[in-house]
Amino acid sequence: RQDELKWNGWGYKDSVFHINKDDCVQYSGDRYSISGHEFPELRKWMVERCGVSLDDKTFSQNVPKAVDLPAIISNDAFVRDLSTTGVAVSMDAEDRLFRAHGHTLAELYDLRHGKFKRIPDIVAWPENHDHVVKIVQLASKHDVCIIPFGGGTTVSGALLCPENENRMILSLDTSEMDRILWVDPENFLAHVECGIIGQDLEQQLAEYGFCTGHEPDSMEFSSLGGWVATRSSGMKKNKYGNIEDMLIRVRMVTAKGTIEKSCQVPRMSTGPDIHHFILGSEGTLGVITEVTLKISPLPKCKRYGSIVFPKFENGVAFLKEIAAKRIAPASIRLLDNDQFQFGRNLRPPKTSIFARLADKLKTLYVVNFKGFDPNSLSLVTIVFEGTEEEVALQQKNIYAVASDHGGLNAGEESGKAGYMLTFSIAYLRDLGFDYSYMAESFETTLPWNKVIDACRNVKHVLLQKCKEHCVPCEPLATSRVTQVYDTGACVYFYFGFRYTGLEHPVEVYESIEQAARDEILACGGSLSHHHGVGKIRKQWLPQTVSTVGLQAVSAIKKELDPHNIFGCQNLFSKL
């Protein structure tokens, strides 16, 4: 996978948004439904809405050479003992750099224009649980720091090596631990190694007629172990649950031995649940090696849908009602007007005159006949799954509630396009970097009665702070609701600005996002819904879980890892 993926950006090397010779945005490769297509409206939107200057072309530095990377801190006795275990290792410069980072804006900017002060000194590829046990035992013996590495998609700074770490740092790459060890169709269980990538897990389970249904936006690249370590959530959580809902049993190797339950049952009443401190541990307590998951039969029917609402507020009220009635489909997302406009520009031109005519007629109906303002309407995209009968009932119920809130059925095509674009939209940030434009997303969970206020307030903070920092053009600040619950919802914010002329653009961005995060917490929101804490959000953890709560987590850390072998310094600083 390292050979297929970009070293300084998101995703596959052959999948890139670029300005072609005809001065049009085009998407290369053949992996996605939009691959090979041109997007004639996107260039105009980038220039007029985002303030991008296509004359302001910036270029990434080349892959750094070994002499340009931080020097290796070696523990020779550890390296010597490790070589006797049969575990593959490397101290190659590119192997070390590839595992030194995740995908925050700051990390990608440093890859393109800066450098890291500390990276792993050695990489190891265990092939099974027993290999991990040996590595952890040797690290404990020789006082070596371990940072587990799964898919590398973290957006919390979790993989960054602490600059003050003077011990040898080993990146424990779990990618060779990628097997489904067994499937139990009678009890709807699968036992899987931690390093398997989400997309591969679903493809292999499909051969048995099952799925997990867990589809985070990063599922092409993120690993099962990473899902557990960050308390992941997926796009279809309404039907299949979050990762904690499908977790039946987990094995985690710590500096003091392996933690695991004795049986694989749906529920136990045996005191505090050990899974609750493994979930979200973010590499601070040990290495997750194997996971038993609840699996589901593949759905016999899958359909897409979309609904247009006159305003974002109508869409929020609609989502709240379907959540209260417990009729939410597998996936349902609400886009604000800016995201709706962005989506309209991020689509290939219609090849058929009839398709183009149909689009014009739909627009005329929505805008002229129904009176929707194109500058305030919002869009919901939907995925229905189940039997034919279940899907038909879901559609009937959903569209009936939508009608009560002023919504109009916008068809299956828009819903499918919106869902599939999820997997390619992350590539756009790299195009922005090419033209001095930086963008990032961050998320939270909010009570229903705070969703609208928080969306408005956070956008106001983003715009105001950009003015204070003299950002040269009007920034893009948008929001969407991505997951719904009885008592609230997950809300994403997307934020970007042109950084031409700013001396320290990353510091400017971080200052603005910190202000936005303060506003989210002031509105009663969570620190994170599913991205985790890592290093970039840990300053807010005491006020989020209380000082006493954090002390309790720290006590578990001290007991399981008294010498801080798992010294990534996520969640809390060095103990």
3-state secondary structure 359-401: HHHHHHHHHHHCCCCCCCCEEEEEEEEECHHHHHHHHHHHHHH
Q: How far is CA 160 from the centre of its chain?
A: 17
Question: Ramachandran region of residue 259, left (φ > 0), alpha (ψ -120 to 50) or beta?
Answer: beta
| Pairwise CA distance, residues 319 & 443, whole Å | 18
| Pairwise CA distance, residues 308 & 306, whole Å | 7
What is the pairing mode between strands 169-173 and 145-149? parallel
For residue 202, the 8-state DSSP code is H
247-254 β-sheet, strand order: 180-184, 189-193, 287-294, 247-254, 257-259
* SS3 at position 147: strand
For residue 164, the 8-state DSSP code is T
CB-CB contact of 519 with 537 (8 Å): no
437-447 β-sheet, strand order: 408-409, 301-309, 378-386, 331-335, 476-484, 488-498, 437-447
Q: Is 208 one of the annotated active-site residues of the chain?
A: no
Question: Which CA distances in Å does 328 have to 74, 321, 453?
Answer: 54, 9, 23
Q: Would the annotation count 554 as a binding residue?
A: no
Q: Would the annotation count 288 as a binding residue?
A: yes
Burial class (CB in 10 A: 0-12, 13-18, 19+), 486: exposed
Q: Would the annotation count 241 as a binding residue?
A: no
Pick the catalytic residue from 32, 492, 494, 499.
Answer: 492
Q: Would the annotation count 286 as a binding residue?
A: yes
| Pairwise CA distance, residues 200 & 216, whole Å | 13
How large is the C-alpha radius of gyration of the chain? 24
Q: Would the annotation count 232 as a binding residue?
A: yes
**Identity of residue 440:** E
DSSP result, 247-293: EEEEEEEETTEEE--S---S---SSS-THHHHTT-TTSS-EEEEEEE
Q: Would the annotation count 231 as a binding residue?
A: yes
**Identity of residue 95:** D
Question: Which CA distances in Å does 353 have to 38, 391, 457, 520?
Answer: 17, 32, 43, 46
CB-CB contact of 145 with 154 (8 Å): no
| Pairwise CA distance, residues 496 & 514, whole Å | 14
* SS3 at position 146: strand
Q: Would the annotation count 287 as a binding residue?
A: yes
Q: Would the annotation count 491 as a binding residue?
A: no
CB-CB contact of 544 with 246 (8 Å): no
Burial class (CB in 10 A: 0-12, 13-18, 19+), 545: middle
- Which residues are paired to 90 by β-bridges? 123
| Pairwise CA distance, residues 512 & 496, whole Å | 11
The helix (run of H) or strand (run of E) holding residue 38 is strand 38-39
- Give the residue ranges of the annotated binding site for substrate: 429
- Give the residue ranges of the annotated binding site for FAD: 230-233, 282-288
- Give the residue ranges of the annotated binding site: 230-233, 282-288, 429
For the annotated catalytic residues, the residue numbers are 492
